């Protein structure tokens, strides 16, 4: 790559990386299948431990299937979010909670609910489902970035997946699958924009943590 290409590519990548915030409010308008396949193909490029490529993706568009996942999300999500609905910490937190509640109420209307799984090739349960999480989440991040670059809204969620037996029953997953993330995808109602993050000086050190 020439210097010029490096500069151009990193500038475009930065545009995507720095404006990929969680988009929870989605329009019900369908997303073309070709774009959904682009998301999965992008996810599929990500690295995995020992290059095992055991991540599996279920793209749920069927209304009955989406309703099952929306019900699971409410079952586990409502008790989790209710205390924050009752007592938001501040105005910014209230906006976040409002968006999470909106998402819960409209989950079944999202054009696609994409579920990311790892196939352990043997039955898996409890805390062991996270053992290969590092082989799944790089693909999820690829998917989120590709969605952003295509003008699609998305946000990684996990509440619907708290009971693996229920998710497996809903999606006909073998018991060797761990479902680790659910990503509602659609055209966003809001606009992409920067995220608020702790300063780098807080989250990194050179050479050792304690200095």
Residues between 11 and 50 that touch its own copies (CB under 8 A): 12-18, 20, 22, 37, 40-42, 44-47, 49
Using the minimum distance from each CB to its own copies, give the nearer residue, 22 or 75: 22
* Residue of the chain from 59, 75, 99, 101 that contacts its own copies (CB under 8 A): 59
User: Scanning residues 136 to 155, which ones bind its own copies (CB under 8 A)?
Assistant: 136-138, 140-142, 144-146, 149-151, 155
Q: What is the rounded CA–CA span in Å between residue 185 and residue 156?
A: 10
Contact partners, residue 150, CB within 8 Å, separation at least 6: 35, 38, 39
* Residue of the chain from 30, 134, 190, 193 that contacts its own copies (CB under 8 A): 134
Closest Cα to residue 70, out of 60, 81, 79?
A: 60
Binding mask 178-197 for its own copies (x = CB under 8 A): --xx----------x--x-x
Contact partners, residue 56, CB within 8 Å, separation at least 6: 116, 117, 118, 119, 177
User: Scanning residues 152 to 181, which ones bind its own copies (CB under 8 A)?
Assistant: 155-156, 158, 171-174, 177, 180-181
User: Scanning residues 72 to 131, which ones bind its own copies (CB under 8 A)?
Assistant: 96, 117, 127-128, 130-131
Given a contact cutoff of 8 angstroms between Cβ atoms, the answer to whether 178 and 170 are in contact is no
Nearest approach, Cβ of residue 106 and its own copies (Å): 19
Closest Cα to residue 116, out of 149, 92, 140?
A: 140
Q: What is the rounded CA–CA span in Å between residue 52 and residue 48?
A: 6
Size of the site for its own copies (CB under 8 A): 78
Q: Could you tell me the two tokens for 71?
A: 């019900």
178 SS3 class = strand
Nearest approach, Cβ of residue 199 and its own copies (Å): 9
């Amino acid at each position: 790559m020439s210097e010029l290409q490096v500069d151009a590519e990193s500038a475009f990548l930065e545009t995507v990386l720095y404006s990929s915030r969680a988009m929870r409010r989605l329009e019900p308008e369908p997303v073309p299948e070709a774009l959904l396949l682009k998301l999965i193909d992008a996810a599929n490029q990500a690295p995995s431990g020992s290059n095992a490529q055991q991540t599996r993706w279920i793209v749920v568009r069927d209304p009955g299937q989406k309703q099952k996942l929306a019900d699971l999300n409410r079952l586990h999500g409502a008790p989790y979010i209710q205390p924050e609905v009752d007592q938001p910490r501040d105005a910014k937190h209230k906006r976040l909670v409002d968006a999470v509640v909106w998402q819960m109420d409209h989950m079944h209307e999202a054009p696609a609910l994409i579920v990311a799984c790892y196939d352990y090739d043997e039955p898996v349960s409890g805390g062991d489902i996270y053992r290969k999480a590092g082989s799944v989440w790089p693909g999820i991040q690829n998917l989120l970035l590709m969605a952003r670059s295509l003008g699609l809204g998305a946000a990684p969620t996990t509440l619907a997946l708290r009971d693996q037996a229920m998710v497996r029953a809903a999606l006909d997953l073998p018991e060797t699958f761990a479902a680790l993330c659910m990503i509602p995808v659609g055209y966003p109602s809001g606009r992409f924009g920067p995220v608020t993050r702790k300063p780098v000086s807080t989250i990194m050190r050179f050479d050792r943590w304690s200095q």
